[in-house]
């Protein structure tokens, strides 16, 4: 495993860091060493600042869609008895097995401003739906919905497994004390689900930058006016559209360092809180 990680993960990381110090178009055999100029240009770039802001928005909405909503759904399904329990569990897991490309095409139909399912439902309530993929105020929310829907099933199954594994003695003791369903959830289920919640929140935050890459590429290409570009799409755009390999590598290094620090901080802080609890 160390050999596989070394060849396919760590060595490419080292090569990316080296390339970030050069100017190269991936075609010319000559690489020009320019030191930290790529980083200086990157931090002064409007596109980079906009991509960072969009990435933070994607993280918020995808954390909501892959964290909070699956928890509520898992709790509701766990309360259901009989054969419908398996039906709901299967239906809610289906998005996890759909490819990102298929999910993007499906949501292109749902978000269509003319005849789309979502705007059609809004019109029933007298609401005029926006141009979801063309409106800079709504495009991030729309693409986040695609990424969150795609990852909903896995988070749902993880939460459901965590709820099922909670010892029933705690639940029965709470009922004997007169606790209702909401009190049981808040005082028993939620605290005992904290390890699962930590895992789902951490993975969702770190994967948020990748979950929307395919929807961005297929539905908006970063538009309108870079309003939907995130950091991963910016890297792809610089490296494979503009052939600025050095700039793309510099962006990759910055993203890697930031998310590495974020992951280590979250793990240390949350792990300490779990031990205290």
pLDDT at position 252? 95
Instruction: Write the DSSP symbol of residue 33.
Output: E
Q: Residue 230: enclosing H or E segment and its boundaries?
A: none
Q: Provide the 3-class DSSP secondary structure of residue 32.
A: strand
Hey, CA dihedral for 229, 210, 271, 92, is it positive or negative? positive
pLDDT exceeds 60 at position 125: yes
How big is the chain, counted in residues? 277
In CATH, 46-276 is 1.10.3720.10: yes
Q: Which two tokens stand for residue 130?
A: 């926006």
Q: Which two tokens stand for residue 133?
A: 């993929």
Give residue-wise pLDDT tens across range 195-244.
Answer: 888 888 888 887 788 889 999 999 999 989 899 999 999 999 999 999 99
Lowest-pLDDT range, 38-52, 121-135, 180-194? Answer: 180-194
- Find the mean pLDDT for residues 113-140: 91
Per-residue b or e along 171-208, where b marks 16 or more CB atoms closer than 10 Å to that residue's CB: beebeeeebeeeebbeebbeebbeebbbebbebbbeeb
pLDDT at position 61? 93
* Distance from the Cα of residue 175 to its chain's centroid: 37
Q: Mark out the alpha helices in the chain (DSSP H runs).
A: 2-5, 11-19, 37-43, 46-63, 69-78, 84-93, 100-110, 117-124, 139-164, 168-176, 181-184, 190-192, 194-211, 213-215, 231-236, 245-276
pLDDT exceeds 90 at position 104: yes
């Amino acid at each position: 495993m160390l050999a596989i990680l070394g060849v396919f993960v760590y060595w490419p990381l080292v090569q990316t860091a080296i390339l970030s110090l050069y100017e190269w178009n991936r075609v010319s055999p000559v690489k020009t060493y320019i030191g930290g100029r790529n980083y200086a240009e990157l931090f002064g770039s409007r596109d980079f600042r906009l991509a960072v802001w969009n990435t933070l928005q994607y993280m918020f909405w995808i954390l909501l869609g892959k964290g909070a909503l699956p928890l509520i759904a898992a709790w509701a399904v766990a309360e259901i008895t009989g054969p419908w329990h398996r039906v709901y569990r299967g239906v809610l897991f289906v998005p996890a097995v759909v490819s990102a490309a298929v999910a993007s095409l499906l949501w292109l139909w749902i978000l269509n401003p003319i005849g789309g399912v979502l705007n059609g439902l809004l019109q029933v309530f007298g609401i005029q739906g926006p141009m979801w993929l063309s409106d800079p105020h709504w495009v991030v929310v729309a693409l986040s919905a695609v990424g969150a829907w795609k990852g909903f099933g896995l988070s749902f199954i993880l939460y459901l497994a965590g709820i099922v594994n909670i010892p029933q003695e705690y639940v029965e003791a709470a009922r004997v004390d007169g606790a209702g369903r909401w009190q049981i959830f808040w005082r028993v289920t939620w605290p005992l689900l904290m390890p699962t919640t930590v895992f789902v929140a951490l993975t969702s935050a770190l994967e948020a930058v990748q979950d929307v890459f395919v929807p961005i590429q297929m539905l908006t290409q970063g538009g309108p006016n870079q309003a939907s570009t995130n950091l991963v799409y910016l890297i792809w755009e610089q490296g494979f559209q503009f052939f600025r390999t050095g700039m793309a590598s510099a962006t990759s290094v910055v993203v890697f360092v930031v998310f590495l620090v974020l992951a280590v901080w979250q793990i240390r802080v949350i792990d300490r809180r779990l031990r205290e609890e």
